[in-house]
Chain A
């Protein structure tokens, strides 16, 4: 039996003490799913059509399988360290000083993720509804409920995620109500874009799947850790199927040429929906999707708040939340004024996710397997 040095988690708060943050494995998986569904999916069809043409759905499936495998690797890593978070694992493996630097890098990543998600949401509301309203005003109002939820703990954030029962059916209905517009020949012939183009498109799917890395931070808060593998698998397969179906449907409706020129396929699909009595159904879709995106903002704002609190051991919740909100607000307002910058930030977030959420945990797992660090229960 291998033993890790049992340290008190950083920030001086033990897992048991932190009851407002305790969640079930189901809640953890829904947390990941809402993070993935809210923002990333918006740009995915267009991005894929631009990189892999009408075969754009193939890299989405491959990435889904990869994200599941990485999620399982993260679970394996956390389990070796008695269910602690990446912040504690870094400390155990690398010591106090290096872990401080590594954890700060993770904090920068979480800030980037929060800014990119909030930026997409604020600019979407700006384009869809309030054109003259300054972006910082929109971002401020969007952040208020997220900050409030973050202050109430992970349990509060997760309870709000029940909205997924509305947002996923809404997404699926955008396909169902366009079923008469699907042209299957737009998806044929399969595989004509070749392995090179499909492989080239893979990194671009990362931003959409962004969210599975939340397990690195959430793991200590999960009560029924023995069931997490099952729920992560169900969640990952569901998200992969939804993403693949949505990308394939978008290609089938618009064709690869037109889809590559659009920014948000959901907007295009919603604008095509015609139902009796209701006019401009698209506007209802936009309004509902704002809630879906808000869930992703909630998630990353909480993770940022909780991680900063732990790493820098800040006691005052109000000062910490206000500080984080201010930083996120300032950067979002400055960086989200045009679509190209938002795309750029999303790509940076995707790259950072690849390094910190994919490569790093796998590397750590390999190191711990080789060196034998961590706890291996008999």
Chain B
């Protein structure tokens, strides 16, 4: 009998445990999918956010009015403010929905903003607020983020903007044409001395979004950029296997109308070694990619001498690309390889003697890097 009373008491208590003060009605929540940050006038920033409208009645609440595409309603709102939180409060004035950042897909940063302001200062809200996600992608927009979000909300025949951008980034990250950096990863690398973050760059082109490569960051500001080919080379040197397509010049003695060859990277093994010459560090990379020859008219590839020629040509191409990429990284003071981090960890006395990070930045821009690429063409598929 006692147990029955207990059971009844527990049941009664459970009736009142339906979320207490924090009940959330799905239709009354605005799930922010994209946030755009641009430079605004009067030293303010222009914050743009888009969220899908789930209920018809909730969508009529005001703001910029819903944009319709393929039956999906997406509302875009903008506000000029000093803080991200301030902009959220401004948005609250014009929408009846409770805006939540838990489903945020990407933070799009206008290139002007990325060059002039400290990027991570605007991520603090997502880091602090546990109901927001820290896995949203950080993306630099070549141009204006607000324009991209506004026009992107009206794209015909495309998935919802947040999903569309993520899919495009994911595919290109797999191919090694852009990095995949989220909020927390950016913050971690940004606060680690001797390593710099890199973030993907995209551009609005008509009814499309195009990945243009990598934005290089130094001390929280964008200081340079790499194109997609250079990004693919960067990943090779980092030893991270991507499925990149590398186009290279065919050797002169090879008879082909195309003049160019294409390889598809399959696996890469990279070893890097830091050496000191006259108290100055140098770094050497040994890169061994295994590649598949792609779009090649049947020829003498089974002949080892012929294969060597192709491999030599490919090696030269990648080495040149890497030389060029490293110079761009140095010009941008972006230590994407984390050479400074390794020097701090393994040569701490030297790190302290040069004045830690400040001293390292001066040395990094002048240091020598050498790349030795030994590619190997492997055969795959139906054709010899």
Contact = CB atoms under 8 A, between A and B. Distances in A.
Contact of A133 (B22, B134, B135, B187): B22
Interface in B12-48: 13, 17, 19-22
Contact of B21 (A133, A144, A271): A133
15 contacts: A130-B20, A130-B21, A131-B22, A133-B20, A181-B185, A181-B188, A184-B345, A185-B344, A188-B346, A255-B192, A257-B192, A258-B187, A258-B191, A271-B134, A271-B184
A224 interface: no
Contact of B192 (A181, A186, A192): A186
Given A185-B345, A188-B345, A272 B135 contact: yes
Contacts of B192: 183, 186, 255, 257-258
A145 to B, nearest CB: 10
A378 interface: no
In which size bucket is the chain A interface? 20 to 34
A194 interface: no
Interface in A288-324: none
Contacts of A253: 188
Contacts of A188: 344-346, 348
A230 interface: no
Contacts of A267: 130
In which size bucket is the chain B interface? 20 to 34
B348 A141 contact: no
A268 B187 CA distance: 12
A271 B102 CA distance: 11
Contacts of B185: 181
Interface string B323-363: 00000000000000010011011101000000000000000
A280 B130 CA distance: 11
Contact of B130 (A127, A137, A274): A127
Interface of B: 13, 17, 19-22, 102, 130-131, 133-135, 184-185, 187-188, 191-193, 338, 341-342, 344-346, 348
B134 A272 contact: yes
A371 interface: no
A127 B102 CA distance: 14
Contacts of B348: 188-189, 192
B337 to A, nearest CB: 12
A132 B22 CA distance: 6
Given A127-B130, A133-B20, A192-B348, A257 B338 contact: no
Nearest to A186: B192
A95 interface: no
Contacts of A130: 19-22
Contacts of B135: 271-272, 274
Nearest to B184: A272
A129 B130 CA distance: 9
A331 interface: no
B188 A254 contact: yes
B181 to A, nearest CB: 13
A360 interface: no
A2 interface: no
Contacts of A131: 22, 131
Interface centre among A185, A186, A253, A257 (most CB of B within 10 A): A185
Contacts of B13: 144
A326 interface: no
A131 to B, nearest CB: 6
A362 to B, nearest CB: 38
Nearest to A253: B188
Nearest to B134: A271
A26 B345 CA distance: 42
B356 to A, nearest CB: 12
A293 to B, nearest CB: 16
Contacts of B188: 181, 253-255, 258
Nearest to B343: A185
A282 B22 CA distance: 19
Given A137-B20, A192-B348, A271-B130, 13 more contacts: A130-B21, A131-B131, A132-B22, A183-B192, A185-B342, A185-B344, A185-B345, A186-B192, A189-B345, A255-B191, A257-B192, A258-B187, A271-B133
Nearest to A274: B135
Contacts of B191: 255, 257-258
Q: Which 6 pairs of residues, A with B, have the shortest CB-CB distance?
A: A188-B345, A185-B345, A132-B21, A133-B20, A133-B21, A130-B22
Interface in A119-165: 127-134, 137, 141, 144
Contacts of A268: 184
B130 A185 contact: no
A14 B133 CA distance: 55
Interface centre among B188, B344, B346 (most CB of A within 10 A): B188
